[in-house]
Structure 1
């Protein structure tokens, strides 16, 4: 702690001097560039026998990201128990010196299309002072874990904020800075966040509460177009005295935001697809690549260098120093490294291109494999980089000339034939090289290494901080609140300088608090009724306020604060509590129930006529084939709900000889009335799944449900000591409830909690968005299970 306090004092004083580092808490190293300044690593090594040839230790726990080292501990995130009913993801801790395993934390995977081989793709980050580790998991958790493996706090990004993943496993890693855990992801939730965007959220590192939201994609010109999920990981830089978070995004641009506020500083659109590589920064210069089409056409792929100290005040675009798109290479899946004036950029076909970082001149190219995912590490005169097909290449660098020497280290599977995949990125700390294959964790080095620790550059100094400076911005904290009916929500205004640092409240800090009527969400149909303001009472006390929530069972809205000409707001969601009933009769046509997540734009309330009667029901949108819209869960309750039963009426219609999939969700298990005829008898089924991309849970029973018929479903999860019993009944509405369960499963690796939700998947949308099969929902009832 003393060392880190010293670093902070140096930063405040504006002194830039070398800093010792025995930790590696950003996946690209202390300077976030892919360069380690360690020395004394072995010239060559082997990986077959521990204790010989530089192999100090290894452990049979693999992964596909970079390890993290903090205070003598090494941390990884990875999958486990592939193809077993207990399959999931875990965070592990080892002694970095000996390799001894200290602990592991396991968690299930759900609500995602990511498959087994792509688990654990995100990298970890850490708060060095508190010794807290932060992890973004495939199932959507953001965990804060202490050095002993105990959970400090967690958020459920999918069920709270509508986070989206894709089959490719593309999820960005979090970064810790200035007391904040900042994470970028694609989401669509409610209100101003109803439409899918690449957003960033900053969480308080100590509590997990949201400090700010940012949606920099809305500043991109031409108009933003969400192009998919992505995994560019952010870096922190200080440029022109401003502390910035810089990241590639899902909109084809690279964005810079103020770390402490999320305010957009500049953006540069340079790709027609997502940007997966992470940027690297040297002083004012920012480097990044992509492997997609270019917005103006022409060759595939691009490498750019931007001068972020020169930003056009009108366009908010930094100056372009150089670019290379003539090579026509897909620089799209691995991130570059920057060291000693050289930029090393891998293409997707595992050819490494070395550029002069100053002017972009190509110095040399080196083929090292067939497929590239992992990023290069430059250390001790060498460059290490993985090919996916079981090979680590070590190149001895030779200035501007091609590498003189190449060592290829190959890896064997622990059992069975075939190669072990190698996707990771090596790190180098305390004279040792650490890396992961899909199956093992390795430590390589000279056993007699005795230091000294490597010296690293600090970030440039920020503008001078004055705690009595006049505020230039305010924010309401927390910036996003989940609460319940009749609760007392405590909010406070923070006064900020131009770098987002908190300053003293002005002596006359009279804050005006209000409950503004929110605008129509972007997904609202023409003629829809605007949503009402939050039903609540504000009890203001200067810069703080108690917001007493009204008695509506579900709602959402904004609380606004104004000081002088400065404004800020907080989003408030009133979560439906169990027991809960919804018949949609009080929801405006074209709307969705307020307080629900991931529903706007994917579902809508319509009027349905049956004979002489008409009723309001919820309908799944069936005119958009894009995966996040065609298939979606409408989350109703808190992510931490447990021991409950959800019931609902469901009806599907046939289009083109096909039915959609429809169902309900309980504790991250989904009951699906499958629209396909999958059984041996050629009949439809009712299936219980939890992770639909993998068969961890996949229990089915014949249920030849028909088009145009209402069915009542009842889905319950009963928690037992070591398992959970998941059971469902399905019968025609109006008939007596059957005694027996239609389908049931006892899960040996149970989901203990999770939001209740409705499920719909319309896969037969026609050309030009011609409507596919319809799904209707009505009379939703969620009740607590009886205590036994």
Structure 2
């Protein structure tokens, strides 16, 4: 649910830890570096007269240190409007959070910070803040995805303008490795990739992209790959004009690289490189796409670098111009400069390849471990090493020389790491370690940057004669409403090459939820049972039924729905996805849900839960025949993410299989109350991977017994009172709470949910322990 947000801002003035004397006149912040790889999206800066050497010591002669500041991180900063932006973590223990940081470009002073909670993720503290922010020079706004899945549009002072809870709204999958994707801005859109499992055609877990209107957060389109997704990833999309069309190109979690029309999300081509995920971001030059990976190949080698011709597509795949095997480019992205492709491997090796042929020109070992990508600037390559060393290299036509290497020694046994990439703009080089932020430059710097070469442009849309539209788009394309709500929608037409034609009149109608889109590399789903009915049409009122714009008013009842708003223009069809979430109080009526299906309005449930008859009652069952953690261990989100101060109750029943008991529970306000089967514990907390605000107590419970769980969260006086009860359903409710927790950094809102973990699952023939749910009820606190 899109959130238009009130002010939440911390304004802090803080001097850098060490500040070198500034030149008489600081360089004007006339240029932006609004995306992590720069304005050309290829790791190249056109700056000149940058340092060959430097020292972090303020009193060192000719240290080329402009300033250093005590703000570390694991990401690549962006620079926009004279300000530096990046995410990171802040606080310790029960006060630990993530934050977006804004520094002054000229002196490194802290101007603003915006904090965000970490919740409902398996990512640990050490891997917070790995994503990159991105900026929009047109509005001055910046965008950030936090580890919890909260995606924000912030103004230049880090005041929130709108947000989405990607996990609760769209079933975003965080994984555990810290690989959180970064957004990209193009035109009026901000686009973000993710792994998710939502509902309807997006119910299957998959690698997808979502485009939001950058000004108000409306969903404009979804796009998904044709292949099965296997792992989280952090490849950042690149937007370029290829073969006359404006295209977004990105790696993904299915081992492939994909291209789609940026304004509509229409998939143009896909190319699978490996079995697991692709973290490398592509580089595009004309019609050529360069990208690599670090996974195992069929011949036993690891890693490949590809050059693909995106103007020659056959059977949905681009032509392979060349491929080089054995370069394990798992984390870093390449540089393309003057006909040479520079790429680092995981082991600190730098490769120079002829971009036309892929022929190796030279290699150079500068280190032992690489996570951040290299930067080309002023004829040099600046690159960090994971183990805390920063290098300045001098590439030549025949080899590479080390100009400078700086090692950062940790304090009190805490090592210094460099995970991000350097940037160069306005005469300075900027980078951060896990402990500090550095700005390098010559005190007498005066050289202007070289101009950025012109890039290919789309041909103009000629409107002298009518153009037949090739695509119909409905905005907003995905909404969450409650019974009785109204929402306006508009229809837009595009050419068959993805160029905007403007608003169009269409015929509007309500339709049913669409079936899941099945990956082409998986066995097809079983056919529906004979006589099985399809999902019902969305219930509501659409006025007018024809026009550029219409208004949808959701019926009440029913309390829960899935469906679509259809639009038709001649033979063209488009639709918007409509989720109807419940108002409180809410009581789930499982007798109205067809067997084998899941409740309408619930996110992240299709294919993971199923209605069954158990002991003569229609109940919800947690699927137990798939060991994949994305299927076996799941939250089923019931409502909108802006609900607060409520109580959830449910009856739960767990079976024992072999030596395994399941984990099962309920959630409210982003806190989970769970019965842990194999450890016989009762736990409450908001962040499973980290001990922040959580509590575990011994709690013996038996299989094949119905228990009632009750979780209530009250936010008051800046704290959250979290209280849970569990008791055998056939017994009287105890007066005393089973477990209580006071959180000084409260989760103030969140969707209610059910939790289930089918432990011990092997496959369909060897299923795991089972969880059943009944009598689900969510009520506002009195």
Instruction: Please point out which of 495, 505, 514 is paired with 2:509.
Output: 514
Secondary structure at 1:773's aligned position in 2? coil
Secondary structure at 1:291's aligned position in 2? strand
2:402 maps to which residue? Answer: 405
- Aligned-partner Cα distance in 2 for 1:360–1:495: 41
Q: How many residues align?
A: 740
2:766 maps to which residue? Answer: 770
In the TM superposition, what are the counterparts of 1:556-595 in structure 2 within 5 Å?
A: 556-595=562-601
Alpha carbons 1:277, 1:290 under 8 Å: kept: yes
Alpha carbons 1:260, 1:499 under 8 Å: kept: no
Query: CA offset at residue 757 of structure 1?
Result: 0.2
Deviations 1:751-788 (A, max 9, x none): 111110000112211356511111111111111112xx
Instruction: Please point out which of 110, 118, 125 is paired with 1:101.
Output: 110
Secondary structure at 2:512's aligned position in 1? coil
Instruction: Please point out which of 639, 642, 657 is paired with 1:640.
Output: 642
- Aligned-partner Cα distance in 1 for 2:502–2:132: 36
Alpha carbons 2:280, 2:330 under 8 Å: kept: yes
1:680 maps to which residue? Answer: none
Instruction: Please point out which of 182, 186, 200 is paired with 1:177.
Output: 186
1:291 maps to which residue? Answer: 294
Query: Does residue 603 in structure 1 map to residue 609 in structure 2?
Result: yes
1:11 maps to which residue? Answer: none
1:155 maps to which residue? Answer: 164
Secondary structure at 1:105's aligned position in 2? strand
1:321 maps to which residue? Answer: 321
1:194 maps to which residue? Answer: 203
- Aligned-partner Cα distance in 2 for 1:135–1:368: 32
Deviations 1:225-247 (A, max 9, x none): 22211111101111122111000
2:674 maps to which residue? Answer: 672
- Aligned-partner Cα distance in 1 for 2:363–2:59: 34
1:12 maps to which residue? Answer: none
Query: Does residue 166 in structure 1 map to residue 164 in structure 2?
Result: no
Would the alpha carbon gap of residues 500 and 51 (structure 1) be closer, same or farther in structure 2, given more than 3 Å must change?
A: farther
Alpha carbons 2:52, 2:392 under 8 Å: kept: no
- Aligned-partner Cα distance in 1 for 2:60–2:102: 22
Would the alpha carbon gap of residues 520 and 259 (structure 1) be closer, same or farther in structure 2, given more than 3 Å must change?
A: closer
Query: Does residue 34 in structure 1 map to residue 43 in structure 2?
Result: yes
Secondary structure at 1:585's aligned position in 2? helix
2:619 maps to which residue? Answer: 617
- Aligned-partner Cα distance in 2 for 1:591–1:266: 33
Would the alpha carbon gap of residues 534 and 501 (structure 1) be closer, same or farther in structure 2, given more than 3 Å must change?
A: same
Query: CA offset at residue 451 of structure 1?
Result: 4.5
Mean alpha-carbon deviation: is it higher for 180-189 or for 576-585? 576-585
Instruction: Please point out which of 416, 423, 426 is paired with 1:427.
Output: 423
Would the alpha carbon gap of residues 595 and 482 (structure 1) be closer, same or farther in structure 2, given more than 3 Å must change?
A: same
Would the alpha carbon gap of residues 340 and 554 (structure 1) be closer, same or farther in structure 2, given more than 3 Å must change?
A: same
- Scaled by the length of structure 1, the TM-score of the pair is 0.91
Would the alpha carbon gap of residues 477 and 737 (structure 1) be closer, same or farther in structure 2, given more than 3 Å must change?
A: same
1:538 maps to which residue? Answer: 542
Secondary structure at 1:301's aligned position in 2? strand
Instruction: Please point out which of 272, 275, 278 is paired with 1:275.
Output: 278
Mean alpha-carbon deviation: is it higher for 773-782 or for 512-521? 512-521
CA RMSD of aligned residues (A): 1.8
Query: Does residue 65 in structure 1 map to residue 75 in structure 2?
Result: yes
Query: CA offset at residue 48 of structure 1?
Result: 3.6
Instruction: Please point out which of 650, 659, 662 is paired with 2:661.
Output: 659
Instruction: Please point out which of 727, 732, 735 is paired with 1:731.
Output: 727
- Aligned-partner Cα distance in 2 for 1:591–1:174: 34
Query: Does residue 78 in structure 1 map to residue 67 in structure 2?
Result: no
2:376 maps to which residue? Answer: 378
Query: CA offset at residue 504 of structure 1?
Result: 4.4
1:241 maps to which residue? Answer: 244
Secondary structure at 1:159's aligned position in 2? helix
Alpha carbons 1:482, 1:573 under 8 Å: kept: yes
Instruction: Please point out which of 83, 87, 91 is paired with 2:96.
Output: 87
Which ranges of structure 2 fall in alignment gaps of 5 or more residues?
Answer: 1-28, 519-524
Alpha carbons 2:290, 2:308 under 8 Å: kept: yes
- Scaled by the length of structure 2, the TM-score of the pair is 0.92
Deviations 1:670-721 (A, max 9, x none): 11111123xxxxxx22111211111112212222111111111111111122
Alpha carbons 1:434, 1:443 under 8 Å: kept: yes
Query: CA offset at residue 98 of structure 1?
Result: 0.8
1:44 maps to which residue? Answer: 53
Deviations 1:486-526 (A, max 9, x none): 222211111222443432456xx4x2222233454467885
Alpha carbons 1:75, 1:92 under 8 Å: kept: yes
Deviations 1:623-655 (A, max 9, x none): 111111111100001011111111111111111
- Aligned-partner Cα distance in 1 for 2:59–2:434: 18
